[in-house]
């Protein structure tokens, strides 16, 4: 049996484990890089096959796991079913030999002509960043949508306001983050805050996702934080002292007025992006097949091309599906 553990052993081991986690993370990044390159020709092949299956992605979204499905409201569903033409995930920072972070992703939705918005393509980019504080994750920028009429705006004006605030933030100049204290809000920010409270967080449209911004971390801050983190790990590995500036940051944290997520209209935007890129995208054929098996929907959904006039029918079909065949057995089947 091992000898009793002292506080000191625990502290050192704990630091070593934390640093080791970073090494695992670096490996993981390399593995994703390798995986993206290896699978690229297969995804291209898949896109070619899928282009023959009208409505594939709409059906996949309908059959999506809860991590995606929970964000699709019935009114979103109608638009997606009637006009979503294609969905593509790309690791844009490593496309064409780029040396960026393979965890940065772009999700592109292509649409047929529809009653709701002018845009034929909506593309949302997420950059993988590291904050000074040590936090790492995805950040993004709002993507405006050209609604055909105010009444067709599925986000009820939320997205337009996010875009307006974002434009203001950009004008404030580089290096200046967004205003995060409610007492300093601009009129547009106040209006956004009020609208968020009115429209409510529960039922925000899937299209509100295009407004997600996430933690405001610039590329420069991210690079500096990554460099410093590597340097500190190197020092610890060599048993040398590491300059300690964590206290300063903790103080920043303690400002309770500060709410960097106060104006986020789709707070789980990063999680939805991850669910799409790590689950829906690689497993799309599985969800499609499962949809086919569950409802034997092939005859219903795929013999005709769908257009926006068929929305009401679609809703009916959805209700029919559960009455079809049993879902495939969870357990293996010979």
By rule CB under 8 A, what string of x and - marks binding of each residue 42-61 to its own copies? x--xx--xxxxxx-------
By rule CB under 8 A, what string of x and - marks binding of each residue 242-261 to its own copies? -------x--xx------xx
Segment interacting with its own copies, rule: CB under 8 A, options 114-122, 192-200, 299-307, 309-317: 299-307
Report whether 168 contacts 188 (CB < 8 A).
yes
Q: Is 35 in the site for its own copies (CB under 8 A)?
A: yes
For 25, which DSSP code? H
Q: Is 332 in the site for its own copies (CB under 8 A)?
A: yes
C-alpha 230/C-alpha 237 separation (Å) is 10
Report whether 116 contacts 147 (CB < 8 A).
yes
Report whether 182 contacts 262 (CB < 8 A).
yes
Report whether 58 contacts 80 (CB < 8 A).
yes
Q: Is 185 in the site for its own copies (CB under 8 A)?
A: no
* Burial class (CB within 10 angstroms; exposed 0-12, middle 13-18, buried 19+) of 66: exposed
The distance of Cα 210 from the centroid of its chain, to the nearest Å, equals 9
Footprint of its own copies on 129-158 (CB under 8 A): 131, 133, 135, 137
Q: Report the nearest approach of its own copies to the CB of residue 10 (Å).
A: 6
Q: Is 234 in the site for its own copies (CB under 8 A)?
A: no
C-alpha 96/C-alpha 156 separation (Å) is 39
For its own copies, which residue of 285, 296, 315, 325 counts as binding (CB under 8 A)? 285
Q: At what angle do helices 158-171 and 187-199 cross, to 10 degrees?
A: 150
Q: SS3 for 107?
A: strand
Segment interacting with its own copies, rule: CB under 8 A, options 25-33, 66-74, 95-103, 221-229: 25-33
Under the rule (CB under 8 A), what is the footprint of its own copies? Answer: 1-7, 9-10, 13-14, 16-18, 20-21, 23-24, 27, 30-31, 34-35, 38-39, 42, 45-46, 49-54, 112, 131, 133, 135, 137, 215, 249, 252-253, 260-261, 267, 282, 285-286, 288-289, 292, 298, 302-305, 307, 331-334
């Amino acid at each position: 049996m091992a000898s009793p553990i002292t506080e000191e052993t625990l502290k050192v081991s704990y630091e070593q484990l934390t640093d080791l986690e970073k090494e695992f993370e670096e490996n993981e990044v390399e593995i994703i890089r390798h995986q993206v390159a290896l699978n690229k020709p297969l995804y291209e092949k898949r896109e070619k096959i899928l282009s023959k299956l009208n409505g594939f992605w709409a059906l996949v979204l309908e059959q999506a796991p809860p991590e995606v499905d929970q964000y699709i409201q019935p009114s979103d569903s109608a638009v997606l079913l009637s006009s979503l033409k294609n969905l593509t995930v790309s690791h844009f920072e490593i496309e064409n030999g780029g040396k960026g972070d393979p965890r940065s992703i772009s999700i592109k939705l292509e649409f047929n002509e529809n009653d709701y918005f002018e845009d034929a393509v909506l593309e949302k980019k997420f950059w993988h960043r590291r904050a000074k504080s040590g936090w790492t994750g995805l950040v993004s920028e709002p993507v405006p949508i050209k609604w055909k009429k105010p009444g067709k705006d599925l986000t009820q004006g939320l997205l337009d306001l996010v875009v307006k605030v974002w434009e203001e933030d950009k004008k404030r100049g580089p290096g200046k983050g967004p205003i995060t204290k409610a007492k300093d809000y601009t009129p547009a920010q106040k209006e956004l805050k009020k609208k968020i409270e009115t429209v409510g967080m529960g039922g925000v449209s899937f299209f509100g996702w295009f407004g997600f911004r996430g933690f405001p971390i610039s590329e420069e801050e991210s690079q500096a934080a990554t460099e410093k983190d590597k340097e500190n790990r190197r020092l610890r590995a060599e048993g040398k002292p590491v300059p300690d500036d964590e206290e300063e940051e903790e103080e920043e944290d303690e400002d309770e007025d500060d709410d960097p997520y106060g104006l986020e209209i789709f707070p789980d935007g990063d999680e939805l992006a991850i669910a799409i890129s790590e689950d829906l995208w690689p497993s799309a054929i599985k969800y499609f097949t499962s949809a086919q098996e569950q409802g034997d929907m092939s005859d219903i959904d795929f013999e005709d091309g769908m257009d926006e006039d068929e929305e009401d029918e679609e809703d009916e079909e959805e209700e029919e599906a559960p009455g079809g065949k049993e879902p495939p057995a969870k357990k293996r089947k010979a």
